[in-house]
Structure 1
Amino acid sequence: MEHVVEKHRRDGLPATFDQVDLPALAAREGTPLYVYSAPALRQRVRALRQALSGLNAGIRYAVKANGNAAVLRLLAEEGAGADIVSAGELERALRAGIAAADIVFSGVGKSDAEIVLALEVGIGRFNIESRAELDSLQRIAAARGLMATAAVRINPDVDAQTHAKISTGKAENKFGVSIAEARGWFQARAQWPNVRLDGLHMHIGSQLLSLAPVREALARMAAFWKELEAAGHPIASIDVGGGLGVRYREGEQAPDAREYAAAIAQALAGFGGRILVEPGRWLVAEAGLLLSRVLLEKHGQERRFLVLDAAMNDLLRPTLYDAWHDIVRIDGGQASVRYDVVGPVCETGDTFATDRLLPPCAAGELVAILGAGAYAASMGSTYNSRPLPAEVLVDGDRYALVRRRQTLDELLAAELPATEWRRT
């Protein structure tokens, strides 16, 4: 993704993204504005597909990373299925043209209504995370005369070496079950005649920059698969999850797709079933940026602030995870001023960067926050009654508006005056 990310980090962002003029785009569509590169998206999914080509493997894109309909449609056209965690994400995937059979339903808290919907459309597989969920799936499937296909999400108790809030594979995390508990489920699977329990699933965390914990978790998964097969419990699918990290800042090295595929192939050598991977961030993060206009420069008593029209409600990651995103001025320039880059929201936490070296930025100038294709717009809110920003997809010298800017009327549309009183 050299043309999209690395050159921009070295030289500042030029006036074009792919071949689209960014100042003209901002003038026409306004800011804050999410901009996604279609070529970069295609490049990543093709690289992963090529790396997995020697395996019986399928890509199930983690919709939570970026659920924009146009992004989903592009990935579907490239052959990706979907990993979903809600009825809303299921509907997004289906509307984008992803076949129900190519959808897996993860998540620790699926409601009965969500299970019903997923069963009725015929999704490929449920990733089961608790005995209570397994019982619910049996009850609901039996009531409708259906057979549900399911995998057990294993918690391999592996430290993913990532931020605590996105680590999901340790014993203290809420996700999955122990291998001991899963073993008991397979031994007693006759108790759930409407659930075809023939898969294993894991996901140890997000933004993984080292494959070492992945290899450790894969080894534990592989040992359990072989144990189950030897005990007469055939396994048709092993879902190795996602979580591959990306380069957000200098010094970080994202895992290579070929090395990742090689680790999977080595750990699961001899497995005759289907292997699934659930990438999200790795496919879309570096294909996106958040374009923002400088509102003002403020000289505090101890700090120098650069106030943008984007805010924490538009991009929550720095506030929530203390996450780093590179920030560049659109036309480059010599980085000679140290700013705290902040938004206008009434929170001290509304801070994108602290003591960040940038070129001098005057009111009205454009900056871009890089690496904003994943867990950015999808985590947005309307805090401080700020309407959601627009999103565009660029492809060569053209662009398409793929989410129009929310109006204040739309933001307020669901609110009602207390004029129709009711009693329970």
Structure 2
Amino acid sequence: VLNTIAKLGGGFDIVSAGELYRVIKAGGDPAKCTFAGVGKTRDEIEYALKQGIYCFNAESEAELHYINQVAGELGMQAPVAVRVNPNVDAKTHAKITTGKSENKFGIDFDQILDVYARVAADCPNLIIKGLQMHIGSQLTNVDPFLEAVQKVIPLVTQVTKSYGIEFFSIGGGIGINYKQSLDSGDSAWWQENAEVHPLTIQAYAEAVVPHLEPLGLRILCEPGRFMVGNAGVMLTKVLYEKRGSAKVFKIVDAGMNDLIRPTLYEGWHQIVPLKQPANDTVEKGDVVGPICESGDFLAQNRELPLVKEGEYLAVLSAGAYGFTMASNYNTRPMPAEILVEDEKATVVRERQTLEDVLKGEHIA
């Protein structure tokens, strides 16, 4: 997936040395990478500098001074932008909002100009390249984006005038359609009842671009989920059906270790049978996995077509925050990953074996 995006000219927002290493191995250009995250270590800063990343997006004044120290010890200069926290409510799930004062991300709006001034005066090993913000993820309304952009633009203007920055990063967060993801693959669907559809990239651009163009700066954005979310599908096999006094359970072979969004974020994923149902009969129940927790579910109280043991379900919109958040919980091997392009299917990640899971573990 990264290789496909890299070949199309895309850059990458990373939050660890591991992600940078993965991007480089996939053919990505480190000079098109911005390094975000509140807890960059010395090893990560050194590695990113030596690989020639485009910019560090610094999240605190202490981090800026530390990057300056590391760069100086290496005899290098580090390109930096400062992330501002605009205190704008993204109106999304509490665990994925990132632009309010109580969130751990960025520097308070009212402090940002003083931080730039101190960095310019005290950090000779830093090159101030930009200003960055990111208010949250899975936004389906343009209003929070517009509010944040309009609030931060005067800051951008002042910072540009004082320090000659070259870019303004408006972050990411453009949401996708989870509840009707299968239908939304048809362009005709978007023409009907357009007012109730999630935010489109066109509506987003029409709202923010007129405010950004007069800045005359390079504008960066991070539409990761929007690009890959609905492109990914997780396939799972129905192992058993259990009819209890309170519920019907469809027990499948994929669990919260494979797709944690329903458990972690109450994320809703459309689930459809691979085999065309014999009729339109539906039944309400839970789709649950094999993990030893009651929180291990893919859907709850969901009306689904009748499916038999041994048949397969497709869990849609699994391309973002799916495999990348998967784990070996309960010592369960990771599934295979297959890339499909036109009629060609390629295994791009092999299914783990138990030997793979235990690799690197030793008895003292």
TM, length-normalised to structure 2: 0.93
Q: Is the 8 A contact 1:244 1:254 kept in 2?
A: no
Counterpart residue type for residue 412 of structure 1: L
Q: How far 1:415 moved relative to its partner?
A: 1.4
Structure 2 letter corresponding to 1:318: P
SS in 2 for 1:297: strand
**Structure 2 regions of 5+ residues with no counterpart?**
181-192
Q: Where does residue 6 of structure 1 map in the other structure?
A: none
> Following the alignment from structure 2 to structure 1, what is the Cα–Cα distance between the partners of residues 292 and 324?
21
Superposition deviation, residue 262 in structure 1: 2.5
- What runs of 5+ residues in structure 1 fail to find an aligned partner? 1-70, 419-424
Paired position in structure 1 for 2:187? none
- Residue-by-residue CA offset, 1:105-143 (whole Å, 9 max, x unaligned): 000110010000000111000001001110111001111
Which of 396, 399, 412 aligns to 2:358? It is 412
The 3-state SS of whatever aligns with 2:227 is helix
Q: CA deviation at 1:294?
A: 0.3
Q: 1:171 and 1:375 mapped to 2: Cα distance?
A: 25
Is 1:339 the counterpart of 2:279? The answer is: no
Q: How does 1:342-381 map to 2 (within 5 A)?
A: 342-381=288-327
Moved more, 206-215 or 331-340: 331-340
1:226: which partner in 2?
Answer: 157
SS in structure 2 of the partner of residue 402 of structure 1: strand
What residue is the counterpart of 1:80 in the other structure? 10
Amino acid at match of 1:204: I
Kindly indicate whether the alpha-carbon contact (under 8 Å) linking 2:170 and 2:221 is maintained by their aligned counterparts in 1. yes
Q: Is the 8 A contact 2:35 2:55 kept in 1?
A: yes
Q: Distance in 1 between matches of 2:59 and 2:267?
A: 28
1:259 Cα deviation (Å)? 2.0
Partner residue of 1:130 out of 50, 60, 73: 60
1:208 aligned counterpart, secondary structure? coil
Separation in 2 of the partners of 1:365 and 1:359?
Answer: 12
Equivalent position amino acid for 1:393 in 2: L
Which structure has more RCO (C-alpha within 8 Å, separation ≥ 6)? 1
Using the TM superposition, give the Cα deviation of residue 387 of structure 1 relative to its aligned residue in structure 2, in angstroms. 0.4
- Taking the aligned partners of 1:335 and 1:101, their CA distance within structure 2 comes to 54
Residues 1:144 and 2:74 are matched in the alignment: yes
- Give the corresponding residue for 1:263: 207
> How far apart in 1 are the matches of 2:104 and 2:33?
23
Cα shift at 1:389: 0.7
Q: Which residue of 2 aligns with 1:62?
A: none
Q: Which amino acid aligns with 2:128?
A: L
Q: Residue 107 of structure 2: SS of its match in structure 1?
A: coil
1:297 to 241, 255, 276: 241
Q: 2:259, 2:107 → 1: CA distance? A: 32
In structure 1, what is the equivalent of residue 339 of structure 2?
A: 393
RMSD: 1.3
Query: What is aligned with 1:324?
Result: 268
SS in 1 for 2:171: coil
Separation of aligned partners in 1, 2:282 and 2:210: 48
Q: Is the 8 A contact 2:55 2:129 kept in 1?
A: no
From 114, 120, 126, give the equivalent of 2:50: 120
Q: 2:145 is matched with which residue?
A: 214
CA distance in 1, matches of 2:150, 2:18: 34
Q: How many residues align?
A: 347
Going from structure 1 to structure 2, the CA distance change for 1:335 and 1:223 (only over 3 Å counts) comes to farther
8 Å contact from structure 1 (residues 165, 321) kept in 2: yes
Aligned: 1:90 with 2:90 = no
Q: Residue type matched to 1:218 in 2?
A: V
Tell me the secondary structure at the aligned position of residue 301 of structure 1.
Answer: coil
Q: By how many angstroms is 1:335 displaced?
A: 4.1
CA contact (8 A) 1:246 1:253 kept: no
Partner of 1:283: 227
3-state SS, counterpart of residue 241 of structure 1: strand
| Structure 1 contact 297–361 (Cα < 8 Å) conserved | no
Q: Pairwise mapping of residues 156-195 of structure 1 onto structure 2 (< 5 A)?
A: 156-188=86-118, 189-195=120-126
Contact 1:335/1:357 (8 A) holds in 2:
no
Report the counterpart of residue 274 of structure 1 in structure 2. 218
How far has the Cα of 1:336 moved from its partner?
A: 1.5
CA distance 1:378–1:398, change in 2 (3 Å): same
**Displacement after TM superposition at 1:342 (Å):** 0.4
Letter of the 2:141 counterpart: S
1:332–1:359 CA contact under 8 A, matched in 2: no
**CA shift digits 1:303-327 (9 cap, x unpaired):** 0000001111000000001110000
Q: Distance in 1 between matches of 2:73 and 2:217?
A: 30
SS in 2 for 1:268: helix
The Cα offsets for residues 259-299 of structure 1, whole Å up to 9 and x where unpaired, read as 22233322223222211111111110100110011001100
Identity of aligned residues (%): 46
**TM-aligned CA deviation for residue 225 of structure 1:** 1.1
The answer (yes or no) to whether the contact 2:133–2:169 under 8 Å persists in 1 is: yes
Secondary structure of 2:215's aligned partner: coil
Aligned-pair CA distance for 1:254: 2.8
Distance 1:93 1:376 in 2: 18
Contact 1:318–1:324 (Cα < 8 Å) also in 2: yes
Measure the CA separation in 2 of the matches of 1:198 and 1:242.
19
